[in-house]
């Protein structure tokens, strides 16, 4: 049943937009709270190392929030932006940077903006387990989107 | 200009850890959400076994308390007391489990808990607030 739902969603996605490569990794089991906390801690460590105040949000494979934290002095807007990025990465199974690049390419790439739930701003990446399956997504906001992406990657890499 | 206290990430961690410990002690699985005084999320966690709905409900309970500076239980009691029109109050979820966090006489935010019976949710939230030693 799980597999059917995922396949149907994948087909829907490909119909809506052929973004990046057609080879998109599969979902594995959703991450648990302990794993989400590890991703938050690793992201935070990277952010602190660089003195970057950020909000970090971790989602399960259904795009539902598992853990969130906002560092002191992070702009308020970053709460929702981090969540948008993390959810996008989880439900579309690809980094938000992939969407950013397509939009940045201009022309028909702008249609990505109309995709419901897609964030076209770097800083959200899928979280993989050590079997290469997607177990969630992490979104970061607070500094430049490229720097947000560095923090998100550090968080996700903690669970590889 | 007036200075007012604000919740730090460390405060949120301390509150959440104490609340989570209270929940685990009772074998309860819940979502715990902390908002600032503007209703923006500062910290959130969903224990394994709690549902996605619990995160949304905890957030709305906390928002009720953060923005009205009153516990969501107070709103529940007003509705239960017959003031049904309170159901139309903007941003109010009148279900126990959302508590304002008051420091130096000012509401600095709120905690919302969802996952077990609503008086138990409130018990968890209160254990979290107590850990901050705000007096």
What is the rounded average pLDDT for all residues in chain A?
A: 90
- Of all helices (H) and strands (E), which one includes residue A85? helix A78-92
Residue B9 touches chain A, beta carbons under 8 Å: yes
Mean pLDDT score of chain B, rounded to an integer? 97
The per-residue pLDDT for A22 is 57
The alpha carbon of residue A71 is apart from the nearest alpha carbon of chain B, in Å, by: 6
Contacts of B23 in chain A (CB under 8 A): none
DSSP type of residue A27:
B
pLDDT at B8 over 80: yes
In contact, A56 and A40? CB cutoff 8 Å? yes
Greatest Cα pair distance in chain B: 46
The interface pTM score, or ipTM, of the predicted complex is 0.94
Give backbone dihedrals phi and psi of A13, rounded to 5 degrees, phi first: -60, -45
Closest CA to B29 of B123, B113, B133, B127: B113
Dump pLDDT digits (tens) for B74-112: 999 999 999 999 999 999 999 999 999 999 999 999 999
A4-21 residue pLDDT tens: 444 444 444 444 445 555
Q: What are phi and psi of A108, to 5 degrees?
A: -70, -10
A68 and B47 within 8 Å at the Cβ level: the answer is: no
């Amino acid at each position: 049943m799980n597999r059917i739902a995922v396949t149907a969603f994948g087909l829907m996605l490909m119909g809506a937009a052929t973004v990046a490569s057609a080879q998109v990794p599969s979902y594995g089991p959703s991450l648990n709270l302990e794993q989400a906390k590890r991703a938050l801690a690793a992201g935070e460590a990277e952010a602190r190392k660089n003195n970057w105040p950020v909000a970090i949000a971790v989602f399960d494979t259904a795009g539902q929030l598992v853990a969130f934290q906002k560092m002191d002095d992070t702009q308020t807007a970053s709460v929702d932006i981090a969540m948008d990025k993390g959810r996008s990465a989880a439900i579309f199974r690809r980094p938000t940077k992939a969407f950013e690049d397509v939009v940045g390419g201009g022309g028909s790439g702008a249609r990505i903006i109309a995709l419901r739930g897609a964030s076209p701003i770097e800083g959200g990446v899928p979280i993989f387990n050590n079997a290469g399956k997607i177990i969630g997504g992490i979104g970061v906001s607070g500094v430049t989107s490229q720097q947000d992406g560095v923090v998100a990657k550090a968080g996700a890499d903690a669970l590889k | 200009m007036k200075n007012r206290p604000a919740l730090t990430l460390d405060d949120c961690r301390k509150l959440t850890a104490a609340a989570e410990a209270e929940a685990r002690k009772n074998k309860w699985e819940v979502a715990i959400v902390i908002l600032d005084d503007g209703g923006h999320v500062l910290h959130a966690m969903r224990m394994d076994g709690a549902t996605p709905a619990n995160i949304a409900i905890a957030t709305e309970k906390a928002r009720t308390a953060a923005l009205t500076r009153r516990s969501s239980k107070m709103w529940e009691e007003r509705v239960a007391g017959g003031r049904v029109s309170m159901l139309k109050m903007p941003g109010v979820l009148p279900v126990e489990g959302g508590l304002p966090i008051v420091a130096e006489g000012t509401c600095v935010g709120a905690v919302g808990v969802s996952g077990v019976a609503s008086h138990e949710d409130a018990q968890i939230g209160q254990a979290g607030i107590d850990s901050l030693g705000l007096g």
